[in-house]
Amino acid sequence: MAEKIIMPQGGQDITEGQVVQWLKSEGDEVKKGEVICEVETEKAVFEVESPADGVLLKIIVPAGQKARVLSTIGFVGAAGENVELEEEDAIEDKKITGIDVAILRKKVAAKGRGSKSQAKVSGRARKLADQKGIDISHVEGSGPKGRITEKDVLAYFETAPIPPESAAAPYESSKASAGAADIRGKSVPMTRKRKVIARRLQQSKQTIPHYYVTVTVDMTDAIQRRKEHHTKGEDDINVSINDMVVMAAAIALGEFPQVNCKLDEDNIHYLKDINIGVAVGLDDGLVVPVLPKVDTLSLQDIAKKTKELINLAKAGKQASLTAGTFTISNMGMLNVDNFVAIINPPETAILAVGSVRKNIMVASDNSFLIRDTMSMTLSADHRAIDGVLGSQFVNKIKYCLENPQILLG
């Protein structure tokens, strides 16, 4: 049976993607896991792998065209296998993009359902419309008696006019060619990525009751153990301070699973996997590549995988489609003493990490010591994480960093 090639979501709050190029043509042999096309969302470029061995039977969405996330963009199967789509199949399969929306609207019109102003609206649909700035009266309902569903709002959002990609060009090209000075005194449109960042962070600050817990970490021993680790040349992997913070956070999330959660309206979902996002600042905005199941990785594995993800992000690509459960934003390399970060919904916490500084500290015998210290601030969602829990959690991270044998062995 033919297998569908699916448009990846590539991040929360992403609704569509565009096929950049197909690396295989219809009829070409493919292997399971082989990269067969590249797609681009508002945040990054993704490589899409073949779901099975066989041949590329059909390309549904050609290069240069857009499709809804999780929709079918092609098929892989046995040579000669029939994968033609019937209209009724397209209606039943909500994942077929560009077909179901058009057919669905024709069906709605043909059935002569009630006016949009009189149609009932589900709570989730109204909430989604508010988030995306959509006038609900413009949306056609496909539910019973014309009820407007969340799916209908997404369908409308897809077909609403989208600013052309070239609208972002003046800002991006000026930075690339003549430098930042060229934008002085100018008004430029936001890039698509910047629009996503703005929408999500505004939503976070408006809807999440943030609170903040700051601790100072004595990093002297961690830095020394890190140097010794590099001197030994273990696995020839350069472990960074950020890698140590990631591992310490994974240990803390394992001990305090109440922090490893997400909110969905009135429900708190405690998550099984520990997936840590590492914020990476790029010229055109912030991306957060995610390390999946960090609690199963060694420090060397974390260092290797983080470096790979960051290099992909800088190249405009992203390898992991895993949703994060916790985020670390490290500005230590930017000469920043401390800062507070905005929570990345639906996550409930984020850790801000500052630079390592030489500071005078008082020992237990009242003597003075010069130590390497680092400030960390936890931003937490008070709806899910109480202050005591947040304090215990961030202090566990501090303890792991001040006792680096836990991390390095």
Q: At what angle do helices 220-232 and 387-402 cross, to 10 degrees?
A: 50
The per-residue pLDDT of the chain, averaged, comes to 80
- Across residues 9-35, what is the average pLDDT? 84
Top pLDDT among 214 and 168 is at 214
- Tell whether the model's pLDDT for residue 369 goes beyond 50: yes
| 372 counts as catalytic | no
- Tell whether the model's pLDDT for residue 284 goes beyond 80: no
| 386 counts as catalytic | yes
- Tell whether the model's pLDDT for residue 155 goes beyond 90: no
d(CA 145, CA 325): 39
Model confidence at 161, pLDDT cuts 50, 70, 90, reads: very low
* pLDDT tens readout for residues 30-80: 999 898 998 887 667 788 889 999 999 999 999 888 888 888 899 999 988
Model confidence at 303, pLDDT cuts 50, 70, 90, reads: very high
If phi over 0 gives left and psi between -120 and 50 gives alpha, with beta otherwise, what is residue 79?
A: beta
- For residues 195 and 187, the answer to whether their CB atoms sit within 8 Å is no
d(CA 50, CA 74): 10
Model confidence at 136, pLDDT cuts 50, 70, 90, reads: confident
**pLDDT for res 109:** 39
d(CA 187, CA 329): 29
Catalytic one among 130, 273, 337, 386?
Answer: 386
d(CA 318, CA 35): 13
Instruction: Look up tokens 């001990």; give the residue.
Output: 255
Q: How many CA atoms lie within 13 A of 273 on its CB side?
A: 13
* pLDDT tens readout for residues 263-281: 887 889 999 999 999 988 8
> What are the two backbone dihedrals, phi and then psi, of residue 22, each rounded to the nearest 5 degrees?
-95, 130
In order of start, what are the domains of the chain with their CATH numbers? 3-92 (2.40.50.100), 100-159 (4.10.320.10), 164-207 (no CATH), 209-408 (3.30.559.10)
Top pLDDT among 158 and 281 is at 281
Tally Cβ neighbours within 10 Å of residue 159: 11
- Across residues 222-228, what is the average pLDDT? 90
* pLDDT tens readout for residues 318-336: 656 678 899 999 999 899 9
**pLDDT for res 132:** 62
Catalytic one among 28, 273, 283, 382?
Answer: 382
Top pLDDT among 156 and 211 is at 211
